[in-house]
Amino acid sequence: MAWLSILGPVKDVIGAHVALTAEEKRRHVLDPDLPSQEWEAAAAAARADTRSKGAWLADRAMELLSGRAKDQPQPVEVNLVMTDRVLLPAAFGGKAPADDVAVIPGWGVIPGADARAHIADLLDASSGAADTAAFVWLRRLFTDPSGRNLVALDSVRRRFEGGLRRFLELRDPTCRVPWCDAPAVQADHTQAHADGGPTDAANGAGLCQRHNLVKELTGWHVRVQSTGLDGTGAHGIRLQTPSGRIHDSTAPPILGEGWLEPVPDVHLQDLPLPNDPWDGWIPDPPEDWLTRDELQVA
């Protein structure tokens, strides 16, 4: 579940709420002019609707905002990013990993168990749920060995479309200009296409509309600092402003800023012991070392 709130003028918000509640009061009132067959069907549907007032208001508001009926699939694509161990724990010994989470780009982190349950519900065509008409697919995203960074995919197109655009949306959820955290609503070349810049993930960057236009102005210079393909780190770009200031931007971890590098799956006894600077000898404590009794007295 999630929250959706709207802040607007008082008269408009109150008007919307009054309109919703008025419609809710009429939801069990049938049109007497309906033909007999339709009237019977409408009466049966009204009897079957046992939702509370709050539940009905929430469902109706979502129908109006999304432009779809209650049982109609949502015509949008929602990305759910997770590791293979989170998606299929049974393939890795049946135990979920320590970092059992998934990420919805542009939204946030959800528990891995909820992500698996959501996917299972979408794939369960026999359940009769509303979302069974949705299209569901798995798309492999390849990372570097650390699991932090996405690797690139090539494209011969001039525009960032299709899979390449979705790749940039996953890698760059917010504007790549370091001081801007606006959503990355546009994808463009770091090195301009007119200057020979390729249309690929290494030369592409997600930007807000404002900074995508600003970087084309005189005095602004942007170049790729790191492609993220050689295993030396994340994708990086360098931006120079007209004043000469230089700023570096690094793509965030694919699983969010809270990502931690996984601990090697080895037994403690297999780990090498650190060097012992005392060679097994324990030195005497210093002369000013206080015992426990002396500490209590002090």
Q: In the prediction, which pLDDT does 244 show?
A: 92
Q: In the prediction, which pLDDT does 130 show?
A: 47
Q: In the prediction, which pLDDT does 40 show?
A: 81
Distance CA 146, CA 261 (A): 7
69-86 b/e (C-beta count within 10 Å ≥ 16 → b): eeeeeeeeeebbbbbebb
Q: In the prediction, which pLDDT does 229 show?
A: 74
Q: In the prediction, which pLDDT does 3 show?
A: 80
Nearest C-alpha neighbor of 30 from the set 48, 41, 43, 19: 43
Q: What's the chain's length in residues?
A: 298
Distance CA 105, CA 56 (A): 29
Q: Where are the domains positioned within the chain?
A: 10-66, 84-133, 162-250
Question: Please, which residues have CB within 8 angstroms of residue 104's CB and are 6 or more apart in sequence?
Answer: 78, 79, 80, 81, 110
- What string of pLDDT tens digits covers the 298 residues of the chain? 778 888 888 888 888 888 888 888 888 777 777 787 788 888 888 888 888 888 888 888 888 887 776 666 666 677 788 888 888 888 777 788 888 888 888 778 889 898 888 888 776 644 554 445 566 666 777 777 777 777 755 455 567 777 888 889 888 999 999 999 899 999 999 998 888 888 888 889 999 999 999 998 999 999 999 887 777 788 999 999 999 999 999 998 887 777 666 666 656 566 666 676 666 666 666 666 666 666 666 5
Q: For 123-149, write each residue's pLDDT tens digit.
A: 664 455 444 556 666 677 777 777 777
Indicate the pTM of the whole model. 0.48
Q: For 69-113, write each residue's pLDDT tens digit.
A: 666 666 667 778 888 888 888 877 778 888 888 888 877 888 989
Contact 219, 189 (CB under 8 A): no
Q: In the prediction, which pLDDT does 126 show?
A: 43
